[in-house]
Chain A
Amino acid sequence: MFVEFEKQITTFIRDNLVFDTSVQLSNDASLTRTGVIDSLGVLDLIMFLEETYGIKIADHETVPENLDTIHNIVKFLETKVQPQTDAHEVAL
């Protein structure tokens, strides 16, 4: 499941927040400092994460360590989202 995060997030950012198709997205580059997304983009990103993964992101979690690079977002999601396979195994 986690391996899908990077692909889904990159696709969302590319399709919804990056209007310039020539921009190259890097997993470790700051999305805000490189101008890929602005404060409104951060709002959109948070909504996407909450709706897609069924999580709630508190205000104190909206920090660069969690959201400023694709790599950070994936790491953050790994702490917020319970893998379905694990849950299934526990139930068994």
Chain B
Amino acid sequence: MKAVRLNFMQMLRQMKHDPMLLAITFTPILIGILLRFGIPFAETQLTNYMEMECVISPYYELLDLLLILFTTTMFNLVAVMVVLEEADEHLISYLSVTPLGKTGYLFSRFGLTGIISLVISILVFAMFHLTNINVIMLLGVVVTSAVQGIGTAMLIVTFSANKVEGMAIGKFTSLFTLGALVPFFKNGRVQYVFSVLPSFWLSKAVKQSSASFLLIAILIVAVWIFLLAKRFTEKLF
């Protein structure tokens, strides 16, 4: 565990040397501030202007969910960038033949980042939430979101040759979070076109307050990870 901890600290040190990575970790707070103070303000202005009872407020749950998804996505993106740089410098092969090993390396990059993103998601939600989600559901959502973040990180690493490609694929995979919009805007069977996206099921879970949808989301991420595992490990080791 000592090697895992030290290798995680090494990732923090690399972030210190890269202002972009450091900046990415603060974006959930900026988005949270915008959400917490900007959205209610915009809602007041819009309802007054349009003389309607509500405009954005029916979607507050969705915005809270997007904030959680965004937080885990950003933290995993940082891990992805560090991993791609380490792959470029052949460091992963070397770290695999130290007491850290392959498993220790993966845990120090994706496991610990996932856990930290989970904790930060809860904190960001607690500080900037627009709605009240019950604690059990909140925990379910952040855990699923963190697992989805790990799956997405694996996807980016697998299909990127370097950091630049990683950024491009990272932008593309951020579109996967848009699956969360579907249950709020589409009814009927057509919505299930997006059912391969875990964010779709997360959104359904929040909208319908049903934890069973979270299990479907986790199952889908598990399928992603299963399909990616071989290519992912070949790429890294």
Q: Is B a genuine binding partner of A?
A: no
Residues of chain B at the chain A interface (Cβ within 8 Å): none
